[in-house]
């Protein structure tokens, strides 16, 4: 049985201050014009009335992280020889993310299927994932770029979260989703919220009703494959693309990375950094050959991966959480929803006899 | 403790062989004797070889699992990592993450005639399987090898070719693109020479690897010789980083070359979207 607590709006900051004694706490606050998940600072205003510009992706998957430390040293037995020691350090400590949206938290479930496979678990991701808790804020306002309802989610979806916070009139109803989340709800600042449950449920229903009509994407996997060789289709939908990669960096479910080495003197590190499949370098081979030579090929792979390949591999789950950041932040105004719908509706020209 | 898929095993280069002006072969052993003793792999599997400070690149293990004194990688100098590897010498330290990927279906090939068609550095993966089969000679039927390069000086493994030519349990054909003084073997492009040799497709499997243009015409030649898609095996290359299906750059549709490959039959390749 989930634990249900209530917190007054004014007590949110003191509660986060309490949590910050034990965990690294991230909450959305403005950095210039960008609303970002930043380390909790009591002096900063926490902004909860809109979705953050960037999802809290880096709390579990840092923009750049060290995989291996290596050091060179002279071999004392043979001075012309360089010895190399390579070590890995796993991330430690626990993190609480406050104010993530259902789409943000659900994005990590797309990562989980790939990063936490039985065969090859990624232990850096694993270490952060199990020690990062999400207090997710249900959405009270829906933007015209939102489409979580198209991808089997809704504005009160607790999937991937540890606590779901539903904004009610004078505060938030806090429902534990996981056992770890339940432990976060023991503060004296919280009161039993059972009596407010009906109110919260009504709010969730109202919001779900206000989101734009859902679309059936069941056919997306096969329809996207059907237009794979139709480069005219892909050239048209990618014509405006600048290959800037904003869509990938802002996406809660984009998980591709690069691995690079850096050295200074006798020390070095191997880094894993976010990569961008919209860049020509992404698949460029040393020979000069590129299997995805144009932006049309690259956009095809990005849309194809999310709405066709990933669902085919992972039991039908679309690797998109419907947050709409790629639409909102695309400098050229490309709308991934339109591309998917266009592929679903595409009818090949009749072959003339 | 779960294995760290990104942390390479440290290894020592035991021997460096200069094969051609741009190909070098490295024979390496893992520094941890336990890891070396327990290392097991199948022909066709690859490894990520690291020069710490420069990076990693993918190479097939081209020594067979039947000869475990060392692991062998042949490296064609093409980019940053391969140039750095070419500067290394015996005693130098590298990192190895291996084995990765699938392998040649060598169990299914038992009892069949085998036709190897290798072009240039594409001979490396074939070498693994060829030596494995020679070490288990009784399991396989007639083995034919066609190995081609631009010229004699572009031909890797030149030091073992005499042995291969001399064996009566291996039908070896060497070819170069254009006449060359002192060359005693065939002259002509691989697909044409293949049609001249005309190995039978009956109860046979053809395994081919080489530059894309050679593969393209070799597949056509094999088709003329009656080889069905299921009888043709090749091994692919893609830019890879993680090697374990996570980093997201080597996929062709739903298939990850690093995990589901690098070895594919032609029949499997036809099922994939066209993005080689």
A257 touches chain B (CB under 8 A): yes
Residue of B nearest to A294 (CA): B275
Mean pLDDT of B52-77: 96
Cα angle B246-B248-B252, degrees, rounded to a multiple of 5: 120
Is the separation of the CB atoms in B49 and B113 below 8 Å?
no
Helix (H) or strand (E) holding A19: helix A12-19
Confidence at residue A80, expressed as pLDDT on a 0 to 100 scale = 80
Same domain, B134 and B84: no
Q: Do you find a cis peptide bond into B262, omega within 30 degrees of 0?
A: yes
Same domain, B229 and B171: yes
Interchain pair B241, A258: CB under 8 A: yes
- pLDDT: which is higher, B212 or B112: B112
Which residues is A91 bridged to in the sheet? none
A289 touches chain B (CB under 8 A): yes
Taking the CA of residue A161 and the nearest CA in chain B, the distance in Å comes to 23
Same domain, B160 and B220: yes
Find residues 307-336 of chain A whose CB sits inside 8 Å of chain B. Answer: 308-309, 312-313
Residue A210 pLDDT > 90: no
How many residues are listed for chain A in this entry?
Answer: 353
- Residue numbers of the domain that contains B224: 113-235
Give the list of residues 6+ apart from residue A90 with CB closer than 8 angstroms, or none.
A123, A124, A127
Q: Alpha carbon B209 to chain centroid distance?
A: 7
A302 touches chain B (CB under 8 A): no
Same domain, B58 and B96: yes
Interchain pair A259, B249: CB under 8 A: no
Is the separation of the CB atoms in B156 and B77 below 8 Å?
no
Give the HSE-up count for residue B43: Cα atoms under 13 Å, Cβ half-sphere.
25
Which residues is A168 bridged to in the sheet? A171
Residue A351 pLDDT > 70: no
A12-39: string of b/e by CB count within 10 Å (b at 16+)? Answer: bbebbebbbeebbbbbbbeeeeebbbbe
Is the separation of the CB atoms in B59 and B46 below 8 Å?
yes
Mean pLDDT of A284-308: 95
> For B252, phi and psi rounded to 5 degrees?
-115, 100
- CATH no. for residue B26? 2.40.30.10
Residue recorded with tokens 């081979």: A285
Which residues of B fall within a CB distance of 8 Å from A282? 249
Taking the CA of residue B253 and the nearest CA in chain A, the distance in Å comes to 6
Confidence at residue A349, expressed as pLDDT on a 0 to 100 scale = 79
Same domain, B88 and B145: no
Picking from A271, A291, A304 by the largest number of B CB atoms within 10 A of its own CB, the best residue to mutate is A291
Using CA atoms, how far apart are residues B257 and A353, in angstroms rounded to an integer?
40
Which residues of B fall within a CB distance of 8 Å from A301? 251, 275
- Give the number of other CB atoms < 10 A from CB of residue A64: 12
Is the separation of the CB atoms in B222 and B208 below 8 Å?
yes
Interchain pair B6, A313: CB under 8 A: no
Same domain, B117 and B92: no
Residue B80 pLDDT > 70: yes
Number of domains chain B is built from? 2
Q: Is A336 helix (H, G, I), strand (E, B) or coil?
A: helix
Give the pLDDT band of residue A353 (cuts 50, 70, 90).
low
Same domain, B73 and B136: no
Confidence at residue A75, expressed as pLDDT on a 0 to 100 scale = 81
Confidence at residue B276, expressed as pLDDT on a 0 to 100 scale = 83
- Per-residue model confidence as pLDDT tens digits over B214-257: 999 999 999 999 999 999 999 998 999 999 999 999 999 999 99
For chain A, the average pLDDT equals 95
Helices and strands in chain B: count of H runs, count of E runs: 7, 15
- Per-residue model confidence as pLDDT tens digits over B1-47: 679 999 999 999 999 999 999 999 999 999 999 999 999 999 999 99
Using CA atoms, how far apart are residues B172 and A209, in angstroms rounded to an integer?
73
Q: Quick one: which of A189, A133, A205 has its CA closest to A5?
A: A189
Q: Which of A144-158, A200-214, A331-345, B63-77 has the lowest mean pLDDT?
A: A200-214
Interchain pair A225, B273: CB under 8 A: yes
Same domain, B125 and B189: yes
Which residues of B fall within a CB distance of 8 Å from A255? 246, 248
Picking from B273, B274, B276 by the largest number of A CB atoms within 10 A of its own CB, the best residue to mutate is B273
ipTM of the shown complex:
0.92
**DSSP for A196-207, written as a single string:** GHHHHHHHHHHH
A98 to A41, A59, A137, A265, B102: CA distances (angstroms): 12, 11, 8, 41, 43
- Per-residue model confidence as pLDDT tens digits over B127-181: 999 999 999 999 999 999 999 999 999 999 999 999 999 999 999 999 999 999 9
By Cβ distance, the residue of A82, A257, A261 closest to B55 is: A261
Q: Which of A18-27, A71-80, A300-309, B144-153 has the lowest mean pLDDT?
A: A71-80
Is the separation of the CB atoms in B193 and B167 below 8 Å?
no
Same domain, B211 and B120: yes
Interchain pair B249, A289: CB under 8 A: no
First vs last C-alpha separation in chain B: 38
Which residues of B fall within a CB distance of 8 Å from A70? 52-53
Confidence at residue A143, expressed as pLDDT on a 0 to 100 scale = 92
Same domain, B72 and B163: no
Interchain pair A312, B254: CB under 8 A: yes
Which residues of B fall within a CB distance of 8 Å from A261? 52-55
Same domain, B94 and B133: no
Give the pLDDT band of residue A201 (cuts 50, 70, 90).
very high
In a domain, B41, yes or no: yes
Q: How many CB pairs below 8 A link A and B?
A: 126
Mean pLDDT of A221-234: 96
Interchain pair B212, A289: CB under 8 A: yes
Taking the CA of residue B170 and the nearest CA in chain A, the distance in Å comes to 33
In a domain, B262, yes or no: no
Q: Is A22 helix (H, G, I), strand (E, B) or coil?
A: coil
Picking from A68, A71, A263 by the largest number of B CB atoms within 10 A of its own CB, the best residue to mutate is A68
Q: Quick one: which of B207, B259, B204, B215 has its CA closest to B233?
A: B207
Confidence at residue A350, expressed as pLDDT on a 0 to 100 scale = 72
In a domain, B257, yes or no: no
Residues of B with a Cβ under 8 Å from any A Cβ are 2-8, 10, 52-57, 78-80, 82, 91-93, 95, 212, 237-239, 241-242, 244-254, 273-276
Same domain, B151 and B199: yes
A111 touches chain B (CB under 8 A): no
- Per-residue model confidence as pLDDT tens digits over B175-211: 999 999 999 999 999 999 999 999 999 999 999 999 9
Interchain pair A259, B242: CB under 8 A: yes
Question: Could you tell me the two tokens for B244?
Answer: 């374990």
Based on the number of CB atoms within 10 Å of its own CB, is B210 exposed (0-12), middle (13-18) or buried (19 or more)?
buried
Cα angle B201-B205-B208, degrees, rounded to a multiple of 5: 110
In a domain, B172, yes or no: yes
- Per-residue model confidence as pLDDT tens digits over A54-84: 999 999 999 999 999 999 998 888 888 889 9
> For A136, phi and psi rounded to 5 degrees?
-95, 140
Helical H runs in B8-122? 33-38, 80-86
Mean pLDDT of A19-29: 97
Is the separation of the CB atoms in B205 and B114 below 8 Å?
yes
In a domain, B90, yes or no: yes
Which residues of B fall within a CB distance of 8 Å from A263? 52-53
Residue of A nearest to B80 (CA): A286
A68 touches chain B (CB under 8 A): yes
Which residues is B60 bridged to in the sheet? B46
First vs last C-alpha separation in chain A: 66
Mean pLDDT of A222-234: 96
Strand B171-176 to B55-60 pairing: unpaired
Which residues of B fall within a CB distance of 8 Å from A121? 2, 5
Q: Alpha carbon B198 to chain centroid distance?
A: 23
Interchain pair B8, A67: CB under 8 A: no
Which residues of A fall within a CB distance of 8 Å from B6? 67-68, 88, 122, 124, 259, 270, 272
């Amino acid at each position: 049985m989930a634990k249900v607590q209530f917190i007054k709006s004014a007590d949110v900051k003191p509660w986060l201050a309490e949590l910050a004694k034990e965990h690294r706490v991230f909450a959305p606050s403005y950095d210039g014009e960008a609303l970002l998940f930043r380390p909790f600072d009591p002096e900063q205003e926490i902004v909860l009335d809109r979705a953050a510009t960037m999802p809290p992706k880096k709390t579990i998957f840092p923009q750049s992280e060290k995989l291996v430390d290596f050091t060179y040293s002279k071999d004392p037995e043979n001075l012309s020889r360089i010895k190399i020691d390579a070590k890995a350090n796993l991330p430690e400590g626990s993190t609480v993310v406050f104010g993530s949206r259902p789409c943000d938290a659900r994005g990590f479930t797309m990562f989980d299927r790939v990063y936490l496979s039985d065969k090859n678990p990624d232990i850096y991701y694993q270490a952060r994932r199990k020690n990062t808790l999400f207090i997710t804020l249900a959405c009270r306002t829906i933007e015209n770029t939102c489409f979580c309802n198209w991808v089997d989610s809704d504005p009160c979806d607790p999937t991937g979260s540890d606590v779901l916070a539903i904004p009610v009139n004078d505060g938030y109803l806090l429902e534990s989703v996981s056992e770890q989340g339940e432990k976060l709800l023991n503060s004296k600042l919280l009161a039993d919220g059972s009596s407010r449950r009906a109110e919260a449920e009504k709010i969730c229903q109202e919001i779900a009703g206000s989101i734009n009509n859902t679309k059936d994407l069941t056919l997306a996997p096969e329809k996207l494959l059907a237009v794979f060789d139709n480069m005219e289709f892909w050239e048209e939908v990618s014509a405006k693309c600048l290959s800037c990669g904003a869509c990938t960096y802002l996406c809660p479910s984009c998980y591709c990375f690069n691995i690079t080495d850096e050295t200074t003197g006798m020390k070095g590190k191997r880094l894993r950094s976010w990569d961008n499949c919209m860049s020509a370098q992404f698949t460029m081979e040393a020979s000069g050959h590129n299997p995805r030579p144009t932006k049309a090929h690259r956009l095809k792979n990005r849309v194809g991966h999310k709405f066709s390949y990933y669902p085919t591999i992972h039991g039908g789950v679309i690797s998109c959480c419907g947050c709409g950041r790629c639409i909102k932040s695309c400098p050229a105004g490309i709308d991934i929803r339109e591309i998917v719908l266009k592929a679903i509706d595409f009818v090949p020209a009749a072959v003339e006899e | 403790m779960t294995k760290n898929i990104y942390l390479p095993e440290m290894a020592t280069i035991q021997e460096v062989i200069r094969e051609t002006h741009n190909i070098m072969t490295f024979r390496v052993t893992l520094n941890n004797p336990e890891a070396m003793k327990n290392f097991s792999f199948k022909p066709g599997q690859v490894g990520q070889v690291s020069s710490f400070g420069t990076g990693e690149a993918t190479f097939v293990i081209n020594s067979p699992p039947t000869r475990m004194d060392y692991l062998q990688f042949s490296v064609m100098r093409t980019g940053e990592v391969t140039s750095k590897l070419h500067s290394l010498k015996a005693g130098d330290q590298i990192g190895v993450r291996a084995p990765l990927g699938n392998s040649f279906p060598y169990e299914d090939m038992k009892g069949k005639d085998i036709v190897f068609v290798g072009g240039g550095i594409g001979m490396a993966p074939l070498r693994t399987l060829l030596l494995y089969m020679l070490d288990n000679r009784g399991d396989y039927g007639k083995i034919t090898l066609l190995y081609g390069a631009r010229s004699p000086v572009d031909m890797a493994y030149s030091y073992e070719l005499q042995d291969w030519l001399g064996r009566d349990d291996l039908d070896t054909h060497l070819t170069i693109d254009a006449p060359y003084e002192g060359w005693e073997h065939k002259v002509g492009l691989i697909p044409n020479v293949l049609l001249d040799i005309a190995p039978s497709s009956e109860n046979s499997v053809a395994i081919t690897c080489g530059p894309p243009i050679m593969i393209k015409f070799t597949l056509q030649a094999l088709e003329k010789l009656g080889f069905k898609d299921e009888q043709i095996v090749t091994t692919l290359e893609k830019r890879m980083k993680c090697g374990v299906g996570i980093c997201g750059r080597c996929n062709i549709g739903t298939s990850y070359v690093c995990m589901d490959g690098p070895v594919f039959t032609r029949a499997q390749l036809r099922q994939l979207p066209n993005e080689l």
